[in-house]
Amino acid sequence: MATKVTMPQMGFDMTEGKVARWLKQVGDPIKQGEAVVEIETDKVNIESEATGNGVLREILVSDGTTVPVGTMIAIIGAPDEDLTAIKAEAGFGAPAEPAAPAAAEAPAKPEATKQTPSARTIETAPTAAPAPAPVQAGNGRGDGRIKASPLAKRIAQEKGVSLAQLTGTGPGGRIVKRDVETATPAVAAAPEGFAQPIAAMAQPGRLGPSVLKAEEVTPTKLRQTIAKRMVASKQTVPHFYVTSEIDMEAAMELRGKLNTLVDEAGKISVNDLVLKAAAIALTHFPGINASFGEKAIVRHGTVNLGIAVALEQGLITVVVTDTDRKPLAQIAREAKDIVNRAKNGKARPEELQGSTFTVSNLGMFDVEEFVAIINPPEAAILAVGSVKDVPVVKDGQIVPGKTMKITLSADHRVTDGAEAAKFLQEVKQNLEEPLRLMI
């Protein structure tokens, strides 16, 4: 029996999706659970799997087409199966007969090449004027060589004087010592290997093949969603920010010891330590693990931490559920697995929604500190910087240390500065006394 491939609903608020690309072609054998098509949603590109076995008989929606959720986009069935009924059920009738060509059709007028809306290139660099014919210097020969004495050449090289700009006074127009010594600064050229004057470099036509071109690029659905949500967040959510600096010496030492006991898949990152530290603190500060609703402030009964992940198309958030209840090693494995699958378009819809608090980490890019925009409807987001080797004061002595800065962006409709500060104090304590993360 034929199986429909429909546009899946990958989130409760998803109403339509775009066929990014087909992973299988008509005639390819298909097994249940095998990825058939890559779907672009307003959150991420995800591979959709087949729900039946057979052969990919027909592709009904081509690459780049957006259709509502539930629309049939392909059919899987037996090689000789009649598809008339299933296509009619979905509203796909028999293909229309092609119209007969006109008896004497006039040749079409040539049209200008249409530019694609996804990347319309606008040439902004001015057209270079034709290069003037080279003028032979008075001291040159017909073969382009410059006549100069060996001594004149050496002095010219030491003084940085261009022989091509000089007129020789020696026999037959030969450049001699006195011609170089009396050369004015106006004819001095930059020594070989040094940059030319800026004015010369700025002349039209002097730039190389790396001239920039302006482009109008149609944003992806993900980028459009990011734009709408971030603008709405900054316009409707009254942000405030609290920053704390953490001594990471003990945490980094514990991380190093733990990572000697596990395989590569189980290695613990700095972000895993932060996730666990924040999750524990959130259980004591329900006002931070909350959302501002239409009629009430919602305090969540679970701690589901979102992890900001940068993709080529834009930023998404993947979710580790019940983070406070899971041991550090499990958080590390789950986080690594979900992030890797999200980057490869294999994350499941439920792994991209339902977060109650988000952690955004730019430490791997050597960013010392930053502020993040709250991801509605959450009440807060934690921005994590890099671990820095710095001098610190301990027991009145300056010693080498490791520190990290974190900044909480919080919704002032839900919480206040004092509660936010106390929350950061507990996160700080959990990381500075990292055995707390193991309980």
Print burial letters for 353-382: b (CB count within 10 Å at least 16), e (below 16): bebbbbbbbbbeeeeebeebbbbebbbbbb
Beta strands in 174-296 (DSSP E): 214-217, 239-247, 290-292
CA-CA distances (angstroms) from residue 392 to 243, 247, 252, 395?
18, 9, 16, 10
Closest by alpha carbon to 328, among 308, 305, 311? 305
CA-CA distances (angstroms) from residue 207 to 203, 237, 325?
8, 46, 59
Three-class DSSP category at 357: strand
Peptide bond into 8 cis (omega under 30): no
Please tell me the distance from the alpha carbon of residue 117 to that of residue 260, in angstroms, as a whole number.
Answer: 52
Beta strands in 335-379 (DSSP E): 357-361
Task: Please report which helix (H) or strand (E) contains residue 317, including its range.
Answer: strand 315-320
Whether residue 239 lies in the annotated active site: no
Q: Please, are residues 185 and 168 in contact by the beta-carbon 8 Å criterion?
A: no
Question: What does the radius of gyration of the chain's CA atoms come to, in whole angstroms?
Answer: 34
Which is catalytic among the residues 239, 284, 300, 412?
412
3-state helix vs strand vs coil in the chain, percent to 5: 30, 25, 45
Please tell me the distance from the alpha carbon of residue 414 to that of residue 40, in angstroms, as a whole number.
Answer: 34
Three-class DSSP category at 46: strand
Own/partner pairs, 197-205, CB within 8 angstroms, 24+ separation: 204/125, 204/126, 204/127, 204/128, 204/129, 205/126, 205/127, 205/128, 205/129, 205/131
Q: Please, are residues 70 and 17 in contact by the beta-carbon 8 Å criterion?
A: no
CA-CA distances (angstroms) from residue 208 to 129, 154, 196, 213?
15, 32, 14, 13
Q: How far apart are the two ends of the chain, measured CA to CA in Å?
A: 54
Print burial letters for 13-45: b (CB count within 10 Å at least 16), e (below 16): ebeebbbbebebeeeeebeeeeebbbbbbbbbb
Tell me how crowded residue 253 is: count the other CB atoms within 10 A of its CB.
Answer: 12
Residues that are catalytic: 412
